Chains A and B, each alone.
Chain A
Amino acid sequence: MTKLTWGPRQWAMLGAALVLGMLVSFQWSAGAVRRPVSPDRVDQTMRQLELEQTELKRQVARLRVALDVLQQEAVTDTELLEELRTQLAVEKVRAGLVDVRGPGVRVTLDDSQQRLTGSANDYLIHDFDLRDVIHVLWLAGAEAIAINGERIVHDSSIYCVGSTVMVNDTRLSPPYEVSAIGDAVRMQDHLRNPGYLGDLKVRCERHGLLLEIMRVEAMTITAYQGSTLQRFAQPGS
């Protein structure tokens, strides 16, 4: 039997155990705080609507794939029908209605981890930051772009409600991953060019926002899952 002596090692262990205990209790309570504390009916409605939205988008995606199959298998024994079908397939790819794969870049943007000194806005990624990044990618010849899985199409809108970013009417949380298929070198050069994204890059340096650019050899960008129905625009003149 040896006597327990209280030396520096024991103090270090005690200190570490105390810190561990604190962190465990923070984690525990953080789990509860992450969800709004009050059983607010508005929050419940919002969650309900978002669950519906997710399910509706899945249905749209399933129906589009099923329709694709029907179109592929339809009896098109005339040249005209066959030609129409081919053209439609090409236009659908262009419109973002189909999953695509190819080389490209992945741009990750995230809020700052730093402590606030000054305006909270400086420490967040905003809708206009995402719009600016996307714009540079289009300038660099991108062929397909998505943010956190939301495909950017002809009338995609990116806006903020409060400090929350909405893309295709869907709430997105940071970190934001912008995927783009195209000429990876050209896109990377554009993004790195000091003439573009100046405001964002300054805020990254000053306030610790994250902006990371990575080339990807093969990436998949999924189809747009939103609505395409146009109420006013008609084809032709």
Chain B
Amino acid sequence: MRRSIVSRVCMTVLLLAIGVLTVAQLRAQRRLRVGTYNRDEQAVLLSELVDANRRLRAEIDLLAAQGNAYAEENHGAILEELVAELNRVRVLNGTIEVSGPGVTLLLDGPLSALDLLDVVNELRNAGAEALALNGHRLVASSAFAVEGRGLVVVDGYPVHRPYHLEAVGDPDTIETALLRPGGLLTLFRREYPNLVAQSTQHARLVLGVHRPHRAFEYAEPIE
């Protein structure tokens, strides 16, 4: 009697262990792909990381300098600091006009909403600091919808071709990214044979305020 209970317990423990280890093994296989890169990918990753860390250090310097302005408790300095930071953050949010050098891109072709989304993403990857499409300022949450007969709508505003994009940032970097062989424009030209695509560098662009402005209803800051 005792012997059969002992063997049942052993069997259960064994099967349990097998189950646990099988799952662990499958999980382990899923993550293996992260560690393997070829030489080119490694080079890209390294340069991205070096760049990112440099920008983080610059950010830390800025934040430290800002802290100092408040520490002095000087009204004038505090006022200056608050105004400067408010304007900086408003540029990020699109709640203030913005100006600077950059690139304009004219696209005349039957581009879809997703194509335009790809263009915007490409421009962001190329370092665009502020964007506009057909005069409408684009922000992080700007989304492209399609209504009716292929009409593209951005933030509730209809946009018609030709599509006119404005990107404030380093003109050379942005234009190079757009025009690179195998890049987005190459793909578009292949997809839309009669596409008109024209990029121009500018010393100064001015982009307007983002609309509509909707206050947050669900997200609340944690005190």
Contact = CB atoms under 8 A, between A and B. Distances in A.
Interface of A: 2, 9, 12-13, 16-17, 19-20, 23-24, 26-27, 30-31, 33-36, 42-43, 45-46, 49-50, 52-53, 56-57, 59-60, 63-64, 66-67, 70-71, 74-76, 78, 80-81, 84-85, 87-89, 91-104, 110-111, 113, 124, 131, 135, 138-139, 142-144, 152-159, 161-164, 166, 169-171, 173-174, 181-183, 220-221, 226-237
Given A23-B25, A42-B42, A226-B52, 5 more contacts: A111-B33, A161-B45, A233-B130, A234-B100, A235-B87
Interface residues of B, number: 98
Interface in B134-152: 139-145
A57 B70 CA distance: 22
Interface string B63-80: 110110011010100110
A67 B85 CA distance: 11
A53 B46 CA distance: 12
A89 to B, nearest CB: 8
Interface in B1-55: 3, 7, 10-11, 14-15, 17-18, 21-22, 24-26, 28-38, 41-42, 44-46, 48-53, 55
A67 B14 contact: no
A230 B129 contact: yes
A104 B33 CA distance: 31
Contacts of B92: 95, 153-154, 228, 230
A53 B53 contact: yes
Contact of B38 (A64, A101, A162, A231): A162
Interface stretch (B157-165, B185-193, B215-223): B215-223
B78 to A, nearest CB: 5
B18 A229 contact: no
Interface of B: 3, 7, 10-11, 14-15, 17-18, 21-22, 24-26, 28-38, 41-42, 44-46, 48-53, 55-60, 62-64, 66-67, 70-71, 73, 75, 78-79, 82-83, 85-102, 117, 121, 124-125, 127-130, 139-145, 168-170, 206, 216-222
Contact of B57 (A56, A110, A157): A56
Contacts of A92: 89
B45 A75 contact: no
B59 A229 contact: yes
B163 to A, nearest CB: 17
A152 B121 CA distance: 13
A70 to B, nearest CB: 4
Contacts of A131: 117, 121
20 contacts: A13-B10, A33-B32, A34-B31, A63-B63, A84-B83, A91-B90, A91-B95, A95-B93, A101-B219, A124-B33, A161-B44, A164-B41, A174-B30, A182-B219, A227-B56, A232-B170, A235-B96, A235-B97, A237-B97, A237-B99
B222 A99 contact: yes
A74 B70 contact: yes
A163 B91 CA distance: 33
Contact of B86 (A2, A31, A67, A91): A91
A111 B102 CA distance: 38
B168 to A, nearest CB: 5
Contacts of A81: 75, 78-79, 82
B140 A154 contact: yes
A101 B66 contact: no
B221 A162 contact: no
Given A74-B78, A153-B140, A56 B60 contact: yes
Given A46-B45, A234-B99, A93 B91 contact: no
A19 B21 CA distance: 10
Contacts of B130: 230, 233
Nearest to A92: B89
A71 B143 CA distance: 33
Nearest to A23: B21
A82 B100 CA distance: 30
A123 B171 CA distance: 38
